[in-house]
């Protein structure tokens, strides 16, 4: 950039010129500064990701001989006037982040920002990226790519989120690089001098975020790029998919088998074989002669139906979507105006230009075909966009909402804008219900429109653990609602692998089993009686935990924090959590410490971070900051509960639309203060936005020994008529409710049912764990404040 030539203060910051370019510093809020640098006459921002405008924030600017100093309530920025490098400090003067002396530089159109590496600095996040929790020593490319059966170190994958968090002894910060071109983040690969991020074209445009904690950094990032919408409750249940279930009789048999075997499930997917010759907005008239009747039958069994939608529109005259798109100029084009045509499932296809408002409206309108048939949700696949040959020409042009650009600038946005259009289509035709959109591809801000899954994984232990890291990394990057294909998409899952994967998947935000064509059956009953019972146990546990999961999902729509949380969020200064043996561990619903472990292990090493922890199944108590060896038979995934936790459960149900027994089970764990906000609504409508919900905060004070259920708020009546409170780790002889002594009961409490002894031989005995004599009380549900002492 060279030296600063001139600069001026403005209402939101300051801007100026350097020997080689222009810069602008904008105070978005006290903890967020936007840095823009380019060599053009004007800046070229991305209009699709950041949805918030600069807030009114107090700041001061001081000019010195060598520096321009800007200070907010949280950040002190220092711009070196000699070489135009930026340094960021906290209010106490600690250095949080600084440019290398190279600062921002260009090689042709390629622009890169070079940063110093702080002592023992860790780098986390960056969305859907393979590799380790700590990104240091690796480089990553953001370029949405269709990658079947990707390896555990391969990059790039389907989704690009150019946001990372740096953690070191002086504090933590986040950087979101808001450039949609192919970008590279180098966290010290092949160099000992710097870390860097840059793009092949466009502006250097990044948001620097500094807050006291990693969680606040993530929340601030999502205040910029948006929070997830509240999804329908049914989308949190178990979902079954295959490439593909057909004909219709196979689909109805599948649904009936779930019910006959008493395995809870909410969703069945229809993959590409539901279509006529793989053409979107069609049903195959032979395989599915009466889709409306089939879907009505599935709904009578409590199932929802999600259909796949690929963007490729078959080039075929007489096929209405193609004719309409061609006649109205809705497809991606070459510079001479000819439609871009490439091969994908239906053959030669045109591709809707989702960066064009007319195209998004048209696509949304076409979705009426599915909603009239009774379809509930939509699965946006192949939306990188994918095509055979995997080499989309860069010269094709996109509308970009009236600011035309080539494939180089537009590709990474394509999947997100297809998801946006699909979300709008679902709302257009079913405005009373919350949409469910699942996408494979996306960019920063995708959480506003869709849930995400991690694409075409493999049926291996390594991929099972990689999926956990991918979901945790997406959570670090603002995508709270995500998951992986349980059992593995490519290849054949083994019995033990499927059972272990099912137990881990029960503690994932999005819970779906999926496998590909020409593979063996991959339903919970397809691997023998023992695996079926293990799967049933964990799916049932998932449904019993729905009150907690649903409550935490609501919180995520408010603060943007993940449901599956990397330990780096709460324990980022603990070196041990980054070690390969422990980097897969995570907190689910900020309560359950999940220890993912390979399917072939019967004992594993686990790390318990700071605090006290209870083994979920037995209530055995451990002190934190220690390594332990934990038995992990196939039927018991290692899970621990944080002391001070409060969570809620319900009775088992077969699907989210089935009524439970009316008892809200509250579990409280002694050893620290705790807080939990229980949330209910009708699970489907938008009425909660008008306060038609039921919400109450539960607080446990360890010093006073009191559990306080605050007065409920909202106009939605609770679905529960009674409360049971279970006390874990407590030593007492009496309990009172609002000053009146309550009868105290106890029972042996198993979180998982005992497995059947299928084989009578002695060496085949299966472990069974229950908490002995767990004390609890029961009383009528009341909206008034309740104090339990």
Could you list the active site residues?
Answer: 381, 384, 456
Q: What does R_g of the chain's alpha carbons equal in angstroms?
A: 27
What is the spatial distance between Cα 597 and Cα 585, in angstroms, rounded to a whole number? 9
| CB-count burial class (<10 Å; 0-12, 13-18, 19+) for 667 | buried
CB 245 within 8 A of CB 270: yes
Q: List Cα–Cα distances, 712 to 20, 667, 676, in angstroms.
A: 60, 18, 13
Q: Apex CA 648: angle with CA 644 and CA 654, to 5°?
A: 150
CB 451 within 8 A of CB 145: no
Helices (DSSP H) in 457-607: which residue ranges? 461-476, 495-505, 529-544, 546-559, 568-571
Q: Which long-range contacts (CB under 8 A, 24 or more apart) does 393-396 make?
A: 393/334, 393/340, 395/334, 395/335, 396/332, 396/333, 396/334, 396/340
CB 224 within 8 A of CB 32: yes
Residue 335 CB coordination number (10 Å): 10
| CA nearest to 191, candidates 84, 110, 100, 88 | 100
| CA nearest to 713, candidates 685, 680, 735 | 680
Beta carbons within 8 Å of 604's beta carbon, 6+ residues apart: 595, 597, 629, 630, 632, 638
The pairing of beta strand 95-107 with beta strand 110-115: antiparallel
CB 501 within 8 A of CB 461: no
Residue 260 CB coordination number (10 Å): 10
CB 471 within 8 A of CB 129: no
The widest CA-to-CA distance across the chain, in whole angstroms, is 86
Tokens 């959570």 -> residue: 475
What is the spatial distance between Cα 565 and Cα 471, in angstroms, rounded to a whole number? 9
Beta carbons within 8 Å of 708's beta carbon, 6+ residues apart: 698, 699, 700, 701, 785, 786, 787, 788
DSSP 333: B
CB 350 within 8 A of CB 315: yes
Phi–psi pair at 423, nearest 5 degrees: -60, -45
Tokens 């049933």 -> residue: 536
Count the residues in the chain.
Answer: 789
Q: Is 699 helix (H, G, I), strand (E, B) or coil?
A: strand
What is the spatial distance between Cα 530 and Cα 533, in angstroms, rounded to a whole number? 5
Phi–psi pair at 182, nearest 5 degrees: -55, 125
What is the spatial distance between Cα 438 and Cα 490, in angstroms, rounded to a whole number? 19
CB 509 within 8 A of CB 590: no
Q: Which residues pair with 737 in a beta bridge?
A: 740, 788
Q: Apex CA 274: angle with CA 273 and CA 275, to 5°?
A: 85
Residue 120 CB coordination number (10 Å): 11
166: tokens are 């740096």
Residue 763 CB coordination number (10 Å): 5
Phi–psi pair at 615, nearest 5 degrees: -65, 120
């Amino acid at each position: 950039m060279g030296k600063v030539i001139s600069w001026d203060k403005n209402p939101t910051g300051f801007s100026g010129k350097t020997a080689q370019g222009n810069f602008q510093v904008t105070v978005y809020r006290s903890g967020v500064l936007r840095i823009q640098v380019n060599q053009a006459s004007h800046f070229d921002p991305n209009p699709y990701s950041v949805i918030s405008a600069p807030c009114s924030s107090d700041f001061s600017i001081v000019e010195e001989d060598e520096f321009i100093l800007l200070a907010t309530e949280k950040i002190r920025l220092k711009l070196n006037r000699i070489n135009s490098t930026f340094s960021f400090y906290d209010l106490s003067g600690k250095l949080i982040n600084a440019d290398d002396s190279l600062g921002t530089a260009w090689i042709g159109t390629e622009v890169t920002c070079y940063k110093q590496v702080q002592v023992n600095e860790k780098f986390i996040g960056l969305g859907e990226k393979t590799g380790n929790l700590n990104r240091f020593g690796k480089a990553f490319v953001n370029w949405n790519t269709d990658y079947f059966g990707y390896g555990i170190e391969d990059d790039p994958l389907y989704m690009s989120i150019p946001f990372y968090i740096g953690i070191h002894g002086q504090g933590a910060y986040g950087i979101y690089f808001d450039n949609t071109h192919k970008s590279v983040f180098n966290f010290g690969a092949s160099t000992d001098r710097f870390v860097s991020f840059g793009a092949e074209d466009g502006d250097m445009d990044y948001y620097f975020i500094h807050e006291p904690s990693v969680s606040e950094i993530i929340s601030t990032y999502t205040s910029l790029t948006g929070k997830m919408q509240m999804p329908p409750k049914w989308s949190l249940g178990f979902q079954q998919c295959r490439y593909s279930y057909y004909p219709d009789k196979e689909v109805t048999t599948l649904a009936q088998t779930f019910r006959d075997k008493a395995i809870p499930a909410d969703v069945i997917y229809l993959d590409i074989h539901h279509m006529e010759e793989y053409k979107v907005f069609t049903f195959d008239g032979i395989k599915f002669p009466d889709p409306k009747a089939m879907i009505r039958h599935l709904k009578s069994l409590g199932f929802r139906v999600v259909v796949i939608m690929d963007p490729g529109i078959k080039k075929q005259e007489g096929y209405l979507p193609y004719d309409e798109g061609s006649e109205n100029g809705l497809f991606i084009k070459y510079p001479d105006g000819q439609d871009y045509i490439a091969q994908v499932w239906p053959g030669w296809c045109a591709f809707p230009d989702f960066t064009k408002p007319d195209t998004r409206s048209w696509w949304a309108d076409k979705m009426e075909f599915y909603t009239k048939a009774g379809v509930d949700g939509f699965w946006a696949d192949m939306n990188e966009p994918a095509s055979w040959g995997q080499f989309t020409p860069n010269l094709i042009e996109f509308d970009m909402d009236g600011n035309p650009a080539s494939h180089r600038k537009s590709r990474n946005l394509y999947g997100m804008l297809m998801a946006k259009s699909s979300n709008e289509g679902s709302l257009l035709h079913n405005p009373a219900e919350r949409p469910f959109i699942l996408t494979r591809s996306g960019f920063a801000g995708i959480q506003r429109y869709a849930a995400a899954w991690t694409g075409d994984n493999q049926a291996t232990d390594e991929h099972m653990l990689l999926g956990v890291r991918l979901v945790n990394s997406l959570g670090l990057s603002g995508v709270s609602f995500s998951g992986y294909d349980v059992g593995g998409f490519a290849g054949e899952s083994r019995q033990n692998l499927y059972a272990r994967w099912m137990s881990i998947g029960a503690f994932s935000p999005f819970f779906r089993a999926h496998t590909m064509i020409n593979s063996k059956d991959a339903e919970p009953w397809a691997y023998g009686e023992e695996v079926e019972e293990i799967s049933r146990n964990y799916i049932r546990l998932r449904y019993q935990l729905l009150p907690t999961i649903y409550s935490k999902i609501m919180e995520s729509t408010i603060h943007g924090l993940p449901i599956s949380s990397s330990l780096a969020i709460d324990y980022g200064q603990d070196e041990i959590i980054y070690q390969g043996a422990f980097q897969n561990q995570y907190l689910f619903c900020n309560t359950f410490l999940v220890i993912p472990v390979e399917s072939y292990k019967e004992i594993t090493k686990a790390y318990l971070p700071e605090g006290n922890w209870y083994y979920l199944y037995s209530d055995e108590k451990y002190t934190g900051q220690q390594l332990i060896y934990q038995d992990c038979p196939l039927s018991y995934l290692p899970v621990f509960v944080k002391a001070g936790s409060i969570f809620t459960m319900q009775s088992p149900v077969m699907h989210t639309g089935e009524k439970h027994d009316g008892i809200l089970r509250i579990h409280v764990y002694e050893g620290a203060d705790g807080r939990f906000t229980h949330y209910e609504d009708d699970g489907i409508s938008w009425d909660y936005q008008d306060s038609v919900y039921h919400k109450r905060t539960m607080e446990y004070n360890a010093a006073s020994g009191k559990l306080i259920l605050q007065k409920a708020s909202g106009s939605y009546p609770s679905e529960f008529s009674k409360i049971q409170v279970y006390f874990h780790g407590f030593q007492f002889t009496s309990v009172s409710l609002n000053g009146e002594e309550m009868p105290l009961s106890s029972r042996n409490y198993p979180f998982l049912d005992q497995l059947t002894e299928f084989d009578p031989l002695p060496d085949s005995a299966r472990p069974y764990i229950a908490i002995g004599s767990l004390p609890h009380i029961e009383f009528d549900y009341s909206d008034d404040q309740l104090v339990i002492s």
